[in-house]
Each structure stands twice: as C-alpha cells, then as structure tokens.
Structure 1
C-alpha cells in the first residue's frame, strides 16, 4: 500500500507489517465473490462499493482489481478511485428526478411508475388501496395570503399526512393540490382509520390557530385486487370521482348545515 492509500484509509502502514485487506469489502462473502471472479476473468474494472473508512467516515470508491504474480506469489493488485462526490451528484439528480421539491414526497412520475409496476406484475402484484386527496381551498389561500402561504399549506398537509401513515404506505404528489396515498395490503377499515387520524391532525392545527388558513381535504378511494383487469388511468379516474362526490357533499353541508350532524365521510 502506497503512502497516499494509507492516508486515505487512515492506516499506519510499514514495510514489515502486512495489512489485512478485508476493510476494502463490506463482507467476507463479497470478498470471496471478488476472488472467484478474478480467478475466472483475471481482472475486474470499475467495481463500485461504499466503504467505511473510519467509524465516522463513509466513502464511495471505484476499484480496479487484477490478478498478478508478485515475487512468484499470486496477488491481487487493487487501484482505488474516490467517487464520493460523483455519487453525491448522482443521488442529487435522482432526488430531483424522483421527488417533489416543495413537499419532499415522491413526484407524479415516480408515483405513477410505482403503481404501473404493480399493475404489470401479474401474479406477483400486491393488493392495494389508493386514496385520492384534494386539498380544499388552496386557491382561496393563495388569493388571500399569497402563493408562499399556499405553498406552506401544501407542505403542512404533507407533513401531517406523513406523521400518520406507516413506512409501507406511499404518498406522492399528483399535481397542484392533488395527492395520492397508496396503502399496500391493508383492509379498508384500516385505511379509513388512518385517514380519520389525518383529519384529526388537520383539526388540531386548525384549533391551535398557528396558521392563517384552515386545513381540510376531500378524499376518494379505490381498492385494487390482483387479477383485476383495469388501467391505471381508470383507477385514478374512479378514485377522483369518489373524491369529487365527497367535495360536493362537503359544500352542501356548508350551505345547508344540519344541527348536531356528524362531518361527512367518504362513500366507499
């Protein structure tokens, strides 16, 4: 190991003390796989791996490995190129391509791609329920308080939703004030309870008077079961129709309130 490599890996290297090279690989299995490949191919180019340089430092490197004879002994010659900055740029590009910059949730392209993969997975597709969410009165908020406050309304809604859903659920922005929640392998009663929790989260914010606007949304559902012959466009259309029914019911309730009536809920 040359001096530059020793400094890079924060190692003390001397000519008389051989170093164990296991730190180059994540696991013993990975090292054995590399050795097996080298025995067959003699060399491996551009092998990318993330390495734990120190307990506090992780870096991405690109390895070039070659099986050689050195002093009549079979050895592996390894060249190391730091590609950490390249990986960071790659991750940033992926983030811009896959996530909505305002809210931090998945964007339309990524969300629709996820659903399309499920519909095309055949026997391996998973059962899911989608909830079509439309934030109420975003235009009114924009007109009264400005678009920056409207953006805050959207972000606050997403933050509240994310606090209530599980790690297996997926939220993505369909566009503007419309979002899709995807619940995998959950029963409708469980989904409805999660949505009730989201509504309670909105009401808590409204009751605190910490925002100049009032938060509410309309919801529509579609339950997909594997084997159902349906397009993604039709699924979204049907959920959108259910959402629109609830929105109309909410408006009717506001115009003609019924004393002591419960808040209107989605019809499923």
Structure 2
C-alpha cells in the first residue's frame, strides 16, 4: 500500500514538473510540430500518389474509349465489303459447293469484287475461298494464285461450326511479308451448308501506326487482342508476341478479355511490372483494346513532387530543430546562470532552508541546513521524502524525539505559518519556521539563534540585575513589588526592608574601590543567606540594598529578621586581605499595614531606614 502511494505521488510530482516547465513544453511542442509536419507531408504525398494513379487510370480509360470508338467505326466499315460480297454470292441461290466454285471463280465475279473493294486499304483485298479452303477469286489478282487456307484455324472453325459467322485470327501472311490479321466470314447455302468464305486482311503495322498517334508516353503500351486472348497488334511492337494467347494467368488478367470494360492494377504477364490496365471490348467485333502504363511511369511526376515536398519538409524540420536547439541552448544557459545565482544565494544564507512540495518531497535544500545538522547529501537531496529527512536526522543524532509524531504534527498544519524554537542534543537553540507554499507544500527555515538568545538573555539580565553583586536591581524589584501589591487583595501581606551599609564611603576612600566592591559582594551574599527562597534581595544602588519579605505582616518576625541581618553584617569582612568592620541601618514598611500604594511603601521604608 505504501509503495503504491509513493508511486502515485511520484507520478503526480512528475506531471506537475511537466506542467510547470516551459522549456519542457517548448520541446514537446517542437516535436509535436515536427511530427505534424512529417505526418502532413506523408499524407500529402500519399494523396498525390493516389491522385497520380487515378489520373493515370483516367488517361488510359479515355484512350481505350477513343480507340474503341474509332475501331468500332473502322471495322464496321471494313465489314461492309464482306457483307455486300456475301449478299451478292448468296443472292444467286447456289446450293452446292461445286456450283459455288464454278460461278464464283469467273472473271466477271473478279470484276464485281474489284469494283466493290476499290478504295479500301488492306493486304490482299477481298478473297473468296471454296469449301476446301482453295482461293477461287480475288479483288486484287486475276487469275488468282494457287493458295489454300485449309490449314488455318479460322477456316476450320467456320467450316465446322454453322453458328460461327465470323472469325478473326493473326496468321503468317501468304499475300505479303509478315503476319496478317484475317477477318473471315462464312458463306452459307440456302439450308445453311458451308459453301466457302470471304476474307480480308490487314497487317498489325496498320493498327500499330494508329496506336502510336495516341501518345500515351514512356513505358506505356496499346494492344488489340482477340477476345480469346490472342494478341493481334501492339506498340511497342515485338514480333515474337504477335499471335500469342494471353488469356491465361490470374482471374484479374482473364477479366481483361471477358468483361466489356475493365480498369485495374496488376502485374504484367509480359514484363512483370506493376501496371495500370484499361481495356474495352469492341461492340461490332470480338476484339479487345488494351492500354497499359507502368506504375513507375505513372508515378514519375508524383516522384518529382514527392522530392519537392520531402525536401521542403526536411528543410522545415531542420529549421525547426535548429530553432529549438538555439532556443534550448539560450534558455539552458539562462537557467544555468539563474541556478548558479540561486545556489549562491541559498548557500550563503545563514539559515538552513528546505522546500517541500505537496507530496512531501524535497525540492530545494541549501548547504547551511546540511552543515547545521551534519547530514549526508546522499540522503538529503531533491526528491527525498520529508519523513526520510527527519529519520536521517534522528539516525545521526540531531533530532531527539518520535519521528512519526513530529512529522504528523508538521504535516497536519502545513497550511498555517508555524514558528518554534527547539533545543538540540548539543544545546543549540534552533528557530524553525514553516510557511505554506502557493502551490502546496511548504518552506522551512532553520536558524541557529543560540547566540542571539543568549545575548538577549544577557542583555535582559543586565537590565534587571546588578552587575557587581548579581542581585536584582531597582527595576526588577519594582516589578516584583507591583505583583505583590496586586496580591494584597488576595490576603497576601509582605514587608519591605531598606538596608544601608554604614560608612561605605570611608571604606572606599581608605582601602580603594576594589575593596569596596568586594565588601558589597560580601554584603550581598550575607543578605541572601538571611532570607528564604520566596524573598527577594535587591541592590538599589551604591551601598543601599532592599529585601522584600513575602507572606508576613508580623512585626516581631520582621524585627527578628532585621536583628539577624544586622548580626550578619556586623561581623568583619575579609576583603582582599583587609579586615573591614561593617554595620547597617534598616528601615521597614509593612503592607497593607502601612498602605497599599507602592510609592508610599517605598518612601516609608526609606524614611524608616534613615531614621534608624
């Protein structure tokens, strides 16, 4: 339980120290500002990165949308010839492959094809193939070359599948150099029988030249695929890639060919880079336009911005650190100087000084306090608890008493100003003052007032006692008599005896002042011996003495006391080797018999003495 309380107190002290330390708050504020700058820069950079990616996506989406519109329109026009030729062929009502071959393989049909294909730009014009895949007519050549496409996949698919009306495939060219993209359409008889096909072809270069006009930038690509994944054309152009099927890999990669419109980020199956991909399926053909751009190229501008922002942030943080460092150094120097001044002031104090916080922990202790009680600085240091300090004093012998009772008493009245003078084991008098602090806790000062009090006592003694005989003087006797007069109302009588040493002047003149002084001291001693402890013997000045006899008004008793005094004083006194005879005159005033006024009583005693 005690450990828990102490930990709680330490935490509260730490929090108060933080609350009350402007330099600490300045440093914390600086670090918070640096963290905010770093976080703000990171968030801004991340936001710009997202904006760059979104902008890249938007650019690719716009590009594929425009390309799709263009090629939808181009391929629709491209198919017009094929559809018109097929309509022309099918209008003859041909029902057998032989009739189809004989009627379609004529010069007249060649002229029809040439007329329809005029103005079109492709590889080999419009070509008609019979059911065996043999070329029987062409818009470009007559007579036709001996060419067969029976080994082509697109031909076999059209021949074997009555539902397939059009096939598109990239194949090695037979009418020119390099690969060609073939667009083939089925020619069917009245009952759906396969009669042959009409094809047209373009080269990938023709598509790629248009792709290049889009200007997507570095590390970008535009490609046209068949919906089955076969690559038909691409920029940058790579011969080995044309004709390859890319409908493989992850579901995201396959979705490029399966969905009408796709925008995503994925790893490219070609170069392995992270790329932003946008694709769009053409509406009039099973073709897909795919545009990609590497994430690195997309973020190139962002990286430039990031360098700028990071540079600005680093410079700002550096400037802030430099500013904090300069402020910290300046404040530290000033605090160090102030601390030195404070330490000098505290350690040159004649008082021991302690300051405790509201958790009873020592904040300040000066050197004088340590030296005053001979304590150890290993124990009495900032952070030590009040009870531990007092216990250390008890252990070292400078505190005599019960530690817990003393501590409880001090702590119970911390909110009030306290002052007390205590005597230590070595007989020193220490004045301890406790004053409450403004923010809790208290300030204690320990002042060694031994010499001051002793001096005050000596001064007070000198003011009330005769320096020669150490008897009370006239001032002290008068105060004593005033109290006796006040007690008359309580039925307590007293008497005043005035005593004058006879022929004292002659002794002084004959034997000197030293002998006279010794005579007075001897007289004082003999007078003390004649009275009890309740009676007062005083020297009024010169050779005059007085005795205040308490508790009596009996004249016989007072007469007997006067005889005792006379007998004591008449005995010769040995003063510095000289036998000096003495005698005295005594006057008596009794209160209340002779009055209750002090001055009257003193006057009566004086007159009685002179009368004697």
**Do both proteins adopt the same fold according to a TM-score greater than 0.5, normalized to the shorter chain?**
yes
Given that 2:589 and 2:601 are in contact with CA atoms closer than 8 Å, whether structure 1 keeps it comes out as: yes
The structural deviation recorded for 1:148 is 2.8
Pair 230,84 (structure 1): closer, same or farther in 2 beyond 3 Å: same
Pair 84,193 (structure 1): closer, same or farther in 2 beyond 3 Å: same
| Aligned mates of 2:457, 2:580 — CA distance in 1 | 35
Given that 2:431 and 2:446 are in contact with CA atoms closer than 8 Å, whether structure 1 keeps it comes out as: yes
The structural deviation recorded for 1:170 is 0.8
Pair 80,204 (structure 1): closer, same or farther in 2 beyond 3 Å: same
| Aligned mates of 2:407, 2:549 — CA distance in 1 | 40
Secondary structure, counterpart of 2:534 in structure 1: coil
Residue in structure 2 matched with residue 221 of structure 1 by the alignment: 588
Matched, 1:113 2:482: no
Secondary structure, counterpart of 2:527 in structure 1: helix
Matched, 1:166 2:538: no
Pick one of 381, 403, 416 that aligns with 1:43: 416
Residue in structure 2 matched with residue 101 of structure 1 by the alignment: 467
| Aligned mates of 2:521, 2:486 — CA distance in 1 | 32
| Higher mean C-alpha displacement, 237-246 vs 116-125 | 116-125
Higher relative contact order (CA 8 A, sep 6+): 1
TM-score by length of 2: 0.33
Matched, 1:58 2:430: no
The structural deviation recorded for 1:112 is 1.7
Gaps of 5+ in 2: 1-353, 355-364
Secondary structure, counterpart of 1:58 in structure 2: coil
Matched, 1:234 2:606: no
The structural deviation recorded for 1:60 is 1.7
| Aligned mates of 1:223, 1:111 — CA distance in 2 | 16
Task: Map 1:121-200 onto structure 2 (within 5 A).
Answer: 123=489, 126-186=492-552, 188=554, 189-200=556-567
Given that 2:519 and 2:575 are in contact with CA atoms closer than 8 Å, whether structure 1 keeps it comes out as: no
Given that 1:127 and 1:184 are in contact with CA atoms closer than 8 Å, whether structure 2 keeps it comes out as: yes
CA RMSD of superposed structures (Å): 4.0
Residue in structure 2 matched with residue 250 of structure 1 by the alignment: none
Residue in structure 2 matched with residue 8 of structure 1 by the alignment: 372
The structural deviation recorded for 1:240 is 2.2
Given that 2:515 and 2:575 are in contact with CA atoms closer than 8 Å, whether structure 1 keeps it comes out as: no
The structural deviation recorded for 1:31 is 5.7
Secondary structure, counterpart of 2:413 in structure 1: helix
Residue in structure 1 matched with residue 568 of structure 2 by the alignment: 201
The structural deviation recorded for 1:81 is 0.9
Residue in structure 2 matched with residue 78 of structure 1 by the alignment: 444
Pair 4,206 (structure 1): closer, same or farther in 2 beyond 3 Å: closer
| Aligned mates of 2:595, 2:408 — CA distance in 1 | 43
The structural deviation recorded for 1:122 is 6.5
| Aligned mates of 2:590, 2:401 — CA distance in 1 | 42
Given that 2:431 and 2:449 are in contact with CA atoms closer than 8 Å, whether structure 1 keeps it comes out as: yes
The number of aligned residues is 235
| Aligned mates of 1:82, 1:207 — CA distance in 2 | 45
Pair 33,120 (structure 1): closer, same or farther in 2 beyond 3 Å: farther
TM-score by length of 1: 0.69
Structure label with greater radius of gyration = 2
Given that 1:38 and 1:67 are in contact with CA atoms closer than 8 Å, whether structure 2 keeps it comes out as: no
Gaps of 5+ in 1: 247-268
The structural deviation recorded for 1:33 is 11
